[in-house]
Amino acid sequence: MKQVILITGGLSGIGLGLVKHYLRRDAHIAIFDVLAPNELEEHLDKATYHVVTGLNVSYFQVNIANNKQVQQGVKQVSVQLGVPNLVVNCAGILRAGPFETLTADDFSASYQVNVLGSRHLAAACLPLMASGDQFAFIASMAGTVGIYGYSAYGSSKFAVLGMAQCIRAEYAPKGITVSVICPPEIDTPMVTQELKTMHPATRILKDFAGRLTLSEALTQIINGLDKKRFIIIPGFKAKCTFWMNRLTPIWLQNKVIDVIVKLKLE
């Protein structure tokens, strides 16, 4: 019997990369994304269109921020394909910039998609899943340390990381693995768009954790999922940054950040 894998945000970036990988493992993939089925051919390149409409792939138009749509989508997947054995929530949005330039709507959208979207998917899937199954959140290195210009995005990813840790404790006794992926900057469409307006202080702070190609990140993310790790951090520099943050007093972290920001603002 084929493994059933549900991937949100599966039309681009990490999500699409995971879709392609698990198809090679002969799994049946369910994709949740916001495009209507009749819009796929118009908005996707030919190669991606053939993947997401091909054999062993079922596409569902679902806005991850809409709890009702998520509940209905998961129910459809469970009826048509079976309860997912692996769920990876790749759907997310990035609203970045100095705090004064970010609106209430920027914060609301960040939390609706990144935090509540994660909650909605977990609430729909986890009660159906069985021992041996796995649910993976995607947070960010920006959810492990405060970064200049990331008050909306970073705080939403801090919330995802905290949520994942709480939920992991509840489902571990049931044999269900909960993972959280915290990637550094990856060459994806979302990051490419951000680079156009990224503040110099944000740039240098993000450089501490390094930058990965999508292929490099996927290799390490998939390895972490296969090993059913709780926290998955792709990239050597990102791992070092994570542990330095954990072991360094917050006052010292703030001092380093203040020096960097001052230099870039002068």
Tell me the per-residue pLDDT of 160-218, one tens digit each, with 9 for 90 and over. Answer: 999 999 999 999 999 999 999 999 988 776 666 666 667 676 777 777 777 899 999 99
Give this prediction's pTM: 0.92
- Tracing tokens 């951090």 back to the chain, one arrives at 233
**How many contiguous H segments (helices) and E segments (strands) does the chain have?**
12, 9
d(C-alpha 31, C-alpha 24), whole Å = 16
What integer is the mean pLDDT of 126-139? 97
- Whether residue 1 is predicted with pLDDT greater than 80 in this model: the reply is no
CATH T-level topology, domain 4-265: Rossmann fold (3.40.50)
What integer is the mean pLDDT of 24-39? 96
Each residue's pLDDT tens digit, 207-262: 777 789 999 999 999 999 999 999 999 999 999 989 988 898 989 988 888 888 88
The whole-angstrom distance between residue 49's C-alpha and the CA centroid of its chain comes to 22
What integer is the mean pLDDT of 2-25? 96
- Whether residue 43 is predicted with pLDDT greater than 80 in this model: the reply is yes
- Whether residue 66 is predicted with pLDDT greater than 80 in this model: the reply is yes
Of residues 147 and 6, the one with the higher pLDDT is 6
Each residue's pLDDT tens digit, 100-126: 999 999 999 999 999 999 999 999 999
Q: Which residues contact 205 (CB under 8 A, 6 or more apart)?
A: 147, 148, 257, 260
pLDDT of res. 72:
98
Helix (H, G, I), strand (E, B) or coil at 88: strand
Instruction: Say if residues 141 and 242 touch (Cβ distance below 8 Å).
Output: yes
Helix (H, G, I), strand (E, B) or coil at 33: strand
Q: Which residues contact 38 (CB under 8 A, 6 or more apart)?
A: none
- Indicate the domain borders of the chain: 4-265
Angle of helix 250-265 relative to helix 200-207, nearest 10 degrees?
140
